[in-house]
């Protein structure tokens, strides 16, 4: 089967309103511009690349269509040398729900290295973006990807994807993501935990064993200390500013919702109480110079207080999404440490 490359820009295009062309209502410089007529522009700040990888890395990658009608697809990574069944990491990329792609070069490089070092299969899901597709579309796309995965596990004898199917341990699946992707992974896990009787049956024979959240993208109306005081200090070390965070949430949340919506703030009044959740074993990776640091730490503390199995690792001196967006020597060192931590977590959850 020949490798394919999915155009991440594919989607429905509608006629534009001439009177509103050029009238900008929301913008994050260099990343996204939303016009009054609804037209969205996303400059190619990060190049999209094909699934090709250098042979010496020891990882094979290929793009596979999940649902062509709505352009959901995934990039798979499979180590070439290890034998036997391998755990599967279902990965969701970041980008504030509004930008990003499984084809972005930074994710392609990071996930290829993660697959090689952790000896795991990886399914990197490309989901639909806001504001054209506000939440909960990204969550629904994530669940559709799991249902598609279930179908592959059930019909594995069909043979079209044997290059990875034959090596996948469908009883050891982990939901993983960074930033907005970590938010997706968490919300999928709460859906499974809160409606376990129905959802677990609908996903059989898949078994979700744990969750890995890298700098999870949460928010809230009340500012935390790291949001108020670290924003300026970390501006040169972190990819996420407070203004950008607020803009992402305005574009991603349903009309009329604020940042205390449960999808944004899992600890807000009205959210599902963590005490009532059968939360899966969870690893949370936090960046010291990230405006989200306090929210991430508070989230871990609430889970621990509720008696949930949560591990928290703080990476010093680096900012938001350092593992994919920074090439400094410190970031490379911390990325190596993070990959090792993920490998250790996955290997211990049997």
Q: What is the pLDDT along the chain (350 residues), one digit of tens a residue?
A: 333 444 444 433 445 555 556 799 999 999 999 999 999 999 999 999 999 999 999 999 999 999 999 999 999 999 998 778 999 999 999 999 999 999 999 999 999 999 999 999 999 999 999 999 999 999 999 999 999 999 999 886 556 677 898 899 999 999 999 999 999 999 999 888 766 544 556 799 999 999 999 999 999 999 999 999 875 654 556 789 999 999 999 999 999 999 999 999 999 987 777 766 668 999 999 999 999 999 999 999 999 998 999 999 999 999 999 999 999 999 999 999 999 999 999 999 97
* 18 to 22, 27, 34: CA distances (angstroms): 9, 20, 15
Residue 306, φ and ψ in degrees, nearest 5: -85, 5
Q: Which residues pair with 285 in a beta bridge?
A: 214, 313
The whole-angstrom separation of Cα 331 and Cα 75 is: 24
> CA torsion sign, 82 to 87 to 88 to 93?
negative
Q: With beta carbons less than 8 A apart as the criterion, state whether 179 and 96 touch.
A: yes
| Enclosing H/E stretch for 108 | helix 105-118
Report which secondary-structure segment, H or E, holds 284.
strand 282-287
287 forms beta bridges with: 315
- pLDDT for the residue numbered 177: 98
According to DSSP, the residues that pair with 39 across neighbouring strands are: none
> Looking at residue 10, what is its pLDDT?
40
pLDDT value at residue 6: 43
| Token pair of 219 as six digits | 């928010």
* Per-residue pLDDT, 201: 66
Integer Cα distance of 347 and 200 in angstroms: 22
Neighbour-count burial of 13, counting CB atoms closer than 10 A to its CB (0-12 exposed, 13-18 middle, 19+ buried): exposed
Catalytic positions, written as ranges: 179, 290, 320
For the record, the structure tokens of 117 come out as: 């070092």
Sort strands 121-126 and 86-92 into parallel, antiparallel or unpaired.
Answer: parallel
Residues 6+ apart with CB under 8 A from 196: 278
Half-sphere exposure of 45 (CA within 13 A, CB side): 14
**CA-to-CA distance for 131 and 137, rounded, in angstroms?**
10
Q: What angle do CA 95, 97, 103 make, to 5 degrees?
A: 55
Distant-in-sequence, close-in-space partners of 56: CB < 8 Å, separation ≥ 6 = none
């Amino acid at each position: 089967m020949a490798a394919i490359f999915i155009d991440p820009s594919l989607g429905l295009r509608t006629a534009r309103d001439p009177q509103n062309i050029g009238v900008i209502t929301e913008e994050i410089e260099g990343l996204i511009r939303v016009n009054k007529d609804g037209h969205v522009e996303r400059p190619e700040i990060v190049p999209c690349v094909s699934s090709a990888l250098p042979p010496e890395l020891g990882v094979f990658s290929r793009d596979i269509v999940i649902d062509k009608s709505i352009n959901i697809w995934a990039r798979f990574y499979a180590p070439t040398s290890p034998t036997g069944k391998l755990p599967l990491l279902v990965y969701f990329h970041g980008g504030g729900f509004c930008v990003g792609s499984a084809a972005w070069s930074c994710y392609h490089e990071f996930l290829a290295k993660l697959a090689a070092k952790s000896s795991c299969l990886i399914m990197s899901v490309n989901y639909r973006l806001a504001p054209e597709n506000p939440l909960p579309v990204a969550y629904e796309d994530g669940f559709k990807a799991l249902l598609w995965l279930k179908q592959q596990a059930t019909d594995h004898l069909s043979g079209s994807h044997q290059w990875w199917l034959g090596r996948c341990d469908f009883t050891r699946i982990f939901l993983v993501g960074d930033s907005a992707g970590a938010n997706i992974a968490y919300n999928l896990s709460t859906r499974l935990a809160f409606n376990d009787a129905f959802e677990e049956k609908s996903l059989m024979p898949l078994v979700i064993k744990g969750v890995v959240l890298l700098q999870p993208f949460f928010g809230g109306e009340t500012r935390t200390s790291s949001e108020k005081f670290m924003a300026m200090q970390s501006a040169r070390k972190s990819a996420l500013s407070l203004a950008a965070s607020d803009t992402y949430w305005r574009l991603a949340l349903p009309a009329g919702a604020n940042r205390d919506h449960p999808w944004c703030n899992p600890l807000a009044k009205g959210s599902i109480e963590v005490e009532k959740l059968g939360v899966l074993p969870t690893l949370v990776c936090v960046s010291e110079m990230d405006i989200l640091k306090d929210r991430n730490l508070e989230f871990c503390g609430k889970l621990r207080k509720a008696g949930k199995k949560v591990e928290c690792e703080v990476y010093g001196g680096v900012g938001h999404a350092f593992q994919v967006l920074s090439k400094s020597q410190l970031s490379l060192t911390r990325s190596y440490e993070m990959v090792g931590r993920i490998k250790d977590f996955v290997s211990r959850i049997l």
